[in-house]
Structure 1
Amino acid sequence: MYGYLGSMKAKSGHRDEVVAILVSGADGLRAAGCHLYVVGVSESDDQTIHVSEVWDSKAHHDASLQLPETRAAIAKAMPMLTGEFNSHELAIVGGLGVPSTSSPSEN
């Protein structure tokens, strides 16, 4: 399984709009191979948005970025973002709400 942890910064006053865009697309992700999609914000930082995802594979994640609804959401959100992005890719080995997998060394 593949994990993606990302953060982005919204332009001042646009964080909640970007969050709404991100959350609105969550329903269709399960059919694309997504097991977990969580969008979070900090009460002490009014610009940063965090996204945590768990997918069947990196290929599933990458394919989801080509879906028409995903591309439309990205196009809508981009003008409201500062361009500051951070991301981490992970080999998911299990946890609460995530199907158990083999250890990373066995994949």
Structure 2
Amino acid sequence: MYGLIGKMTAVEGQRDALAAILLTGLRDMPGNLSYIVAVAPEDPNALWITEVWTDAEAHKASLSLPSVQDAIGRGRPLIAGLERIAETAPLGGVGLPK
């Protein structure tokens, strides 16, 4: 498995709008096992995104999907910053295949 943890900072006051775009753009992504969008309680503009994929190739392929491209296009103006915190190799967990 392949995992990513990222922090996205929205333009001031646009966190909820950005989160809504991310949540609608993640449907039907082959190879995606988990995609979590979470607010950061200590920062009113930050979102944490945690992803688990079957492999890195599935993640890379997802970036060309029409739904993902649409979400990127709609979300880009609302993004003030993006940090890739970590790439991981998930071993398993609730909801993930053994």
TM-score w.r.t. the length of structure 1 is 0.84
Q: Which runs of 4+ in 1 moved over 6 A?
A: none
> What amino acid is aligned across from residue 47 of structure 2 in structure 1?
I
Q: Return the offset for 1:83.
A: 2.7
8 Å Cα contact 2:4-2:52 kept in structure 1: yes
Change (3 A) 1:56 1:84: closer
Classify the secondary structure of the residue corresponding to 2:12. coil
Identical positions, percent: 38
Task: Quote the residue 1:8 is aligned against.
Answer: 8
Task: Quote the residue 1:87 is aligned against.
Answer: 85
Q: Return the offset for 1:62.
A: 0.4
Q: Return the offset for 1:96.
A: 1.6
> What amino acid is aligned across from residue 23 of structure 1 in structure 2?
L
Task: Quote the residue 1:69 is aligned against.
Answer: 67
8 Å Cα contact 2:25-2:70 kept in structure 1: no
CA distance in 2, matches of 1:95, 1:84: 26
Task: Quote the residue 2:22 is aligned against.
Answer: 22
CA distance in 2, matches of 1:97, 1:58: 19
CA distance in 1, matches of 2:44, 2:56: 30
RMSD between aligned residues: 1.2
CA distance in 2, matches of 1:84, 1:95: 26
Give the one of 32, 37, 40 matched to 2:38. Answer: 40
- Higher CA-based Rg: 1
Q: Which structure shows the higher helix fraction?
A: 1
Q: Return the offset for 1:92.
A: 1.3
Aligned residues: 98
CA distance in 1, matches of 2:73, 2:85: 19
Unaligned runs of 5+ in 2: none
